Chain A
């Protein structure tokens, strides 16, 4: 016990990450906004805001409402678009202190393919996370994440573009995520990340209006943690590629629950808004926990949930 060194590295596709603690898309900007209060070198990776082919202004306000132990958002993938991302952000990533995973979103397969083709060659990008599951964007688009065939086809096409890790972000707004997870695995995805936000709603009883300009939004925060754990456990039993777990993690104890149900890495999302150093603190806490328990590597926790046969 005590100061034994622990190995917290994880492998996703052909890339190694020094820590399994990452920060989730949409909650850490482009990776620079929190640098005054977060030492990003301590994080396994920063996942960028979703990038789309064209810039997006986002949905009409209000876009944020607090709910019981959580929040709803209907941002609508507001982002600077591919061109400005390439011009303004990529040069700044050349000396970035940790790995950058770019999250890509689109409303047609062509949009995903165009963005991935444009970004794949840049060495400063370690991996890609594909957002098949934004609940706040509808116009003319298809939510790929609920259809196993569409997910398979898109993933296969994306796979043909790059050998860098492809992480598919799954939607929880589905009866069972297993079928889609199996489909993207078969199509060559290196990992799945889950869960994205759950479709939710809040109403102002004074005005009788929805509290979000978009009427519905995505629920995140501690309120969704039990759902995330259950869905990850379901998927873990069926797929063999790594699962990157997220959904309401705000402490190291939360993170350990995710590892036990089968996550190989975790992302911190809404907690960044509440307490920006959360991911750093979980990184330290995880090492401490592993030392105390005498665990040499993450493989000693991942999926080790004890269930009666």
Chain B
């Protein structure tokens, strides 16, 4: 699949939480080519520091506007600079990159499990799904979570401190939801490695297909720098930018990933 380097204007900026913004960019080739699960690499600014591009999952696409969205959470210097940009400003974007979520044949329900800002690519997936779905959104507290109106009826929340939705981890919410759904289901998850390991564990125990979207530090985003390995169950590594970011959960050696 080809990718592009485009200078894209921000056409819409909204605040999702106090530290998270949604940025919509106009970028025709990217908006048309992108598939759920893929990501873009944004140049922070045209200076030598911060040097490297930052990776963001595409969180929604709007082909009519030829636009795509990313969700940026204030984490480090680079993301702070990016989220301070305003409508009309231009950013240098490389994308769409990486693998996408794959359709699972014969399922009645898709369970989209997001931890923190890992929720982002699951909205894009929800946009394209033709089966029933639930979006399970977990975080430490309510201040991390948000809803998008178009998906709100399908969204369920949980927090570690109980400030919104069910108290506990998103895997607890997943297990509860699994008891409610009838027919075949599949899990699509994105979030911190610990969470993905737990979600993959639940899926394996219940015999449900599971795809995970992963994150790792990376310099290039296109399979050149070899900086973003995740351990393969068969030994060696897979690369998040090129082999992923979406992997079948059974391909990843989660024990090695989490324990280092």
How does the 8 Å CB contact mask read for A217-234 relative to B, with 1 for contact and 0 for none?
000011000000000000
Is A69 located at the chain interface by the 8 A CB criterion?
yes
A213 to B85, CA, bound (A): 34
Report the count of interface residues on B (CB-CB < 8 A).
Answer: 32
> Using Cβ atoms and an 8 Å threshold, which residues of chain A touch B219?
64, 71, 73, 270, 273
Stretch at the interface among B138-146, B150-158, B200-208, B222-230: B222-230
Is B119 located at the chain interface by the 8 A CB criterion?
no
Stretch at the interface among B44-52, B98-106, B123-131, B160-168: B44-52
Nearest-neighbour CB distance to chain A for B30, whole angstroms, equals: 12
> Using Cβ atoms and an 8 Å threshold, which residues of chain A touch B223?
29, 33
Is B134 located at the chain interface by the 8 A CB criterion?
no
A179 to B151, CA, bound (A): 67
With A57-B237, A58-B229, A64-B217 as given contacts, are A274 and B53 in contact (CB-CB < 8 Å)?
yes
Q: A37–B3 contact, CB under 8 A?
A: yes
With A64-B217, A66-B50 as given contacts, are A34 and B224 in contact (CB-CB < 8 Å)?
yes
Nearest-neighbour CB distance to chain B for A22, whole angstroms, equals: 15
Most buried by B among A60, A66, A75: A66
Complex interface residues of chain A between 32 and 79 (CB less than 8 A to chain B): 33-34, 36-37, 49, 57-58, 60-66, 68-71, 73, 75, 78
Q: A73–B225 contact, CB under 8 A?
A: yes
Nearest residue, chain B, Cβ from A251: B48
Nearest-neighbour CB distance to chain B for A307, whole angstroms, equals: 27
Is A304 located at the chain interface by the 8 A CB criterion?
no
Nearest-neighbour CB distance to chain B for A35, whole angstroms, equals: 9
Is B110 located at the chain interface by the 8 A CB criterion?
no
> Using Cβ atoms and an 8 Å threshold, which residues of chain B touch A36?
2-4
Is A275 located at the chain interface by the 8 A CB criterion?
yes
> Using Cβ atoms and an 8 Å threshold, which residues of chain A touch B237?
57-58, 61, 78
Q: A273–B52 contact, CB under 8 A?
A: yes
Nearest residue, chain B, Cβ from A64: B227
Q: Contacting B51 at CB < 8 Å: which of A60, A71, A272?
A: A71
A78 to B224, CA, bound (A): 11
> Using Cβ atoms and an 8 Å threshold, which residues of chain B touch A33?
220, 222-224
Nearest-neighbour CB distance to chain B for A179, whole angstroms, equals: 32
How does the 8 Å CB contact mask read for B223-260 relative to A, with 1 for contact and 0 for none?
11111111000011100000000000000000000001
Is A27 located at the chain interface by the 8 A CB criterion?
yes
Q: A222–B51 contact, CB under 8 A?
A: yes
Is B216 located at the chain interface by the 8 A CB criterion?
yes
Nearest residue, chain A, Cβ from B50: A66
Most buried by A among B2, B52, B92, B236: B52
Is A26 located at the chain interface by the 8 A CB criterion?
yes
Report the contact-size class of chain A (Cβ under 8 Å from the partner). Answer: 35 or more
Is A28 located at the chain interface by the 8 A CB criterion?
yes
Is A250 located at the chain interface by the 8 A CB criterion?
yes
> Using Cβ atoms and an 8 Å threshold, which residues of chain B touch A60?
260
Is B94 located at the chain interface by the 8 A CB criterion?
yes
Is A277 located at the chain interface by the 8 A CB criterion?
yes
Is A245 located at the chain interface by the 8 A CB criterion?
no
Q: A272–B4 contact, CB under 8 A?
A: no
Is A262 located at the chain interface by the 8 A CB criterion?
no
Q: A66–B229 contact, CB under 8 A?
A: no
Is B5 located at the chain interface by the 8 A CB criterion?
yes
> Using Cβ atoms and an 8 Å threshold, which residues of chain A touch B4?
36-37
With A57-B236, A273-B219 as given contacts, are A222 and B226 in contact (CB-CB < 8 Å)?
no
> Using Cβ atoms and an 8 Å threshold, which residues of chain B touch A274?
43, 51-53
Is B189 located at the chain interface by the 8 A CB criterion?
no
Nearest-neighbour CB distance to chain A for B45, whole angstroms, equals: 11
Nearest residue, chain A, Cβ from B5: A37
Q: A69–B48 contact, CB under 8 A?
A: yes
Most buried by A among B43, B51, B235: B51
Q: A250–B48 contact, CB under 8 A?
A: yes
> Using Cβ atoms and an 8 Å threshold, which residues of chain A touch B5?
37, 276-277
Q: A273–B217 contact, CB under 8 A?
A: no
A277 to B43, CA, bound (A): 13
Q: B229–A270 contact, CB under 8 A?
A: no
Q: B222–A75 contact, CB under 8 A?
A: no
> Using Cβ atoms and an 8 Å threshold, which residues of chain B touch A276?
5, 94
Is B218 located at the chain interface by the 8 A CB criterion?
yes
Q: Which residues of B contact A (CB under 8 A)?
A: 2-5, 43, 48-53, 78, 92, 94, 216-220, 222-230, 235-237, 260
Please name 6 pairs of A and B residues whose Cβ atoms are closer than 8 Å in the assembled complex, sorted by A.
A33-B220, A37-B94, A62-B216, A63-B229, A68-B49, A71-B219
Other than A33-B224, A34-B222, give 16 A-B pairs with Cβ distance below 8 A: A29-B222, A33-B223, A37-B3, A57-B229, A63-B226, A63-B228, A64-B218, A64-B219, A70-B51, A71-B52, A222-B49, A222-B51, A250-B48, A273-B52, A273-B219, A275-B92
- The 5 A-B residue pairs whose C-beta atoms are closest, nearest first, are A64-B227, A29-B224, A222-B48, A273-B219, A57-B236
